[in-house]
Amino acid sequence: MEIHQADKEYRRRSIWTLLGVLALMGVLLWQLNTWLQGLDGRLSGADPATTKQWLKALLAMLGFALALPAAALGASLYRLGRASRLQGRFPPREFKTWRDVRVLRDGPALRWARRVELSSTAAFALAGLLGGWALWVLWYFR
């Protein structure tokens, strides 16, 4: 049985990166709350057209902001699935893992590669739906 060895340096970098992203998201969430409270004060006395314009921009930005990570996930999953399918093994040789994993070959590897490729298609579809929703918001609230 072949074992794909874990990359300890990759694991350490990934954990630190995830902790950094978590801290950044916490700060951004705190600042979002402050910004929205200030925006509430400005928009509560504004005319309806200004409020509609702000709402349209916020909803469109939300759709585009959520579509970007979904598209990035789809691209990453597609590369993983394609490399696995071409090499006939899962995970591919150049893929880095947090822990030691058993290498699948032939039929089981191709089934996993196909599952990963289907997941990438789903992620791309989600990105398309979110981007389409954002464009619809821009069109509908013109």
Residue 141: pLDDT band (50, 70, 90) is confident
Phi, psi of 90 (to 5 degrees): -135, 125
More confident residue, 11 or 36: 11
Q: What is the pTM of this model?
A: 0.85
pLDDT tens figures, 84-120: 999 999 999 999 999 999 999 999 999 999 999 999 9
CA atoms within 13 A on the CB side of 45: 3
Q: What stretches of 1-142 show up as alpha helix (H) in DSSP?
A: 8-44, 48-87, 106-140
Domain with 91 in it: 3-140
Residue 121, phi-psi category: left (phi > 0), alpha (psi -120 to 50), beta (remainder): alpha
**Cβ–Cβ under 8 Å, residues 83 and 95:** yes
pLDDT in tens, 33-85: 999 888 888 888 888 888 889 889 999 999 999 999 999 999 999 999 999 99
Structural domains of the chain, count = 1
Q: How many CA atoms lie within 13 A of 89 on its CB side?
A: 13
Alpha carbon distance 92, 4 (integer Å) = 9
pLDDT given at position 96:
92
pLDDT at 142: 83
DSSP helix/strand/coil, 3? strand
How far apart CA 112 and CA 95 sit, in angstroms, is: 14
